[in-house]
Amino acid sequence: MKIGLAPRFKPQYSLKEFFAALWPENDAIVQYERIFSMKFGCKYGIMFPHGRSGLFSLLKIWNLDNTEIICPAYTCVVVQHAIVRSGNIPVFVDCEKNSFNMSYDGIESAITERTGCIVVTHLFGYPMDVRRIDSIVKKAEKKFRKKIFVVQDAAHSYGAKYNGELVTSFGDAAIFGSNISKLINSVFGGMVITSNATTHQTLLDFRESKFRIVGLVRKMKILTYFFAVNVAFNETVYGMVNWLERKGLLGGLVKYYDEGVIDFPRDWDEMPTSMEASIGLVQLAKYDSIIQERRRNSLSIQEFLKKDERFIFPVDDHLGCTYSHLVAIVDNRDEIVEEFKSKGIQLGILIEYVVPNMKAYLPYKNSEFPVSEYYHTRTINFPIYKAII
């Protein structure tokens, strides 16, 4: 067992986050919502305990029920969990060739008179052409004479731009996950941003009436988790953590899904805390420097590996990519993971499934997804929170 190991991701914390956790500001949630929404191109923000809680709430306040929601086949399954739990039907779209994101033609052909919403995921920080999607939606709305909502799923794409424009300034709303694996985070939590005043007020009313106030025990759990994360991701300690994970001894602490179950975490309907928002505010202030470093490290790795034919990087818009992950496609994934581990570097294996092929989603499977199926066994991601090359 190797002790020292650079983890595949690591929260970018300093003493400021520790002070924020111990002495949160009373109005931190309101401050965080306001500054966050402005930073990413919208007028209003509403904080949630998870990004999926925000998506669930949006579908509810838009009165979408038993409605088709278009979404990627290759993405984090919590998106589809929110769709089904809200009483709606996921309609899956395969990836565009040479991209991790949805096929534009696939989106257009999936729209029917039953379509109520499209969840546009900008996976791994690679932006989609939001103007092209806007054009597809307007054409469909005219054809079917109905409103089709558009949600930008920005969990991986804080600040991503396409042709210089923030992807989150398009559509009806954008959702963010803010757990420790994200570009910036509030330990737990999520955010919805929008420029529509009615959506904002209705969503705020929904949260205030439907979500539970948390007690002291919950706040202490968040604080304990925050301190534990700072210990666990120390490179010396992380070697042991990774060993425990590989032996299957960490159980639900590291696995966020069950192939056969469509579920939500127990705290999905709890109000966010001032502690989380205070940490989020510190992280938000560091966003620009974090992104600059991640881009620099990502480009360095790609430059270093460009002559190594084992690694293929996508051809998406790199200029607007925020690199939540630097992802490569490889044929011999297990071998490469072990090779880098021997050098003290953990490569990540993420989204190891195609959602409609999961047991719980077979009843919703509407097609085959060859591009997604190719990716899910071949993608790896590199640590980019620091220079490893």
Domain boundaries, the chain: 1-389
Closest CA to 119 of 76, 154, 151, 82: 151
Of the CATH numbers 2.60.410.10, 1.10.1760.20, 3.10.20.30, 3.40.640.10, which one belongs to the domain with range 1-389?
3.40.640.10
Residue 3: the pLDDT is: 47
Instruction: With beta carbons less than 8 A apart as the criterion, state whether 287 and 158 touch.
Output: yes
Contacts with 32 (C-beta within 8 Å, 6 or more apart), sequence order = 45, 47, 186, 277, 278, 280, 281, 284
- In sign, the C-alpha dihedral spanning 221, 224, 226, 231 is negative
Rg (CA), the chain: 20
Closest CA to 82 of 190, 214, 225, 232: 190
Positions of the chain with pLDDT lower than 50, given as ranges = 1-3, 249
Residue 243: the pLDDT is: 54
Residue 157: the pLDDT is: 94
What is the rounded CA–CA span in Å between residue 215 and residue 379? Answer: 41
Strand-strand pairing, 161-162 and 115-121: unpaired
Q: Where are the beta strands (DSSP E) in 52-204?
A: 68-72, 89-93, 115-121, 149-153, 161-162, 165-166, 173-177, 190-194
What is the rounded CA–CA span in Å between residue 350 and residue 332? Answer: 15
Closest CA to 70 of 78, 61, 79, 62: 79
Closest CA to 151 of 106, 100, 199, 93: 199
Residue 51: the pLDDT is: 97
Residue 256: the pLDDT is: 64
pTM: 0.94
